[in-house]
Amino acid sequence: MTSTTRTDQRPKVIMICNGCGREDVLADAWASWDAENQRWELEQTFDAGYCNDCQRECTPLAKKI
Ligand SMILES: [Zn+2]
């Protein structure tokens, strides 16, 4: 028996800067160290972010594509 959660039916979005509307944004996030794979694994992302265009903190907004 499988219990797959279907999340692939949601419309795709892009994340844009709430200041300039461009896509060059980063999200604040936490990552935890995965010793087995020797890399950071994303744990959680937050509403706040950073825009590379504005070069300041912003709030990335989801926009349907
Ligand atoms: Zn921006």
CA of 14 to the centre of ligand 1 (A): 14
CA of 57 to the centre of ligand 1 (A): 8
CA of 62 to the centre of ligand 1 (A): 14
Q: Note the residue count of the chain.
A: 65
pLDDT tens series, the chain, 65 aa: 555 666 668 899 999 999 999 999 999 999 999 999 999 999 999 999 999 999 999 999 999 99
Listed by start position, the domains of the chain span 13-64
CA of 55 to the centre of ligand 1 (A): 7
Query: What DSSP string runs through 1-65?
Result: -------TTSPPEEEE-TTT--S-EEEEEEEEEETTTTEEEEEEEEEEEEETTTTEEE--EEEE-
CA of 24 to the centre of ligand 1 (A): 7
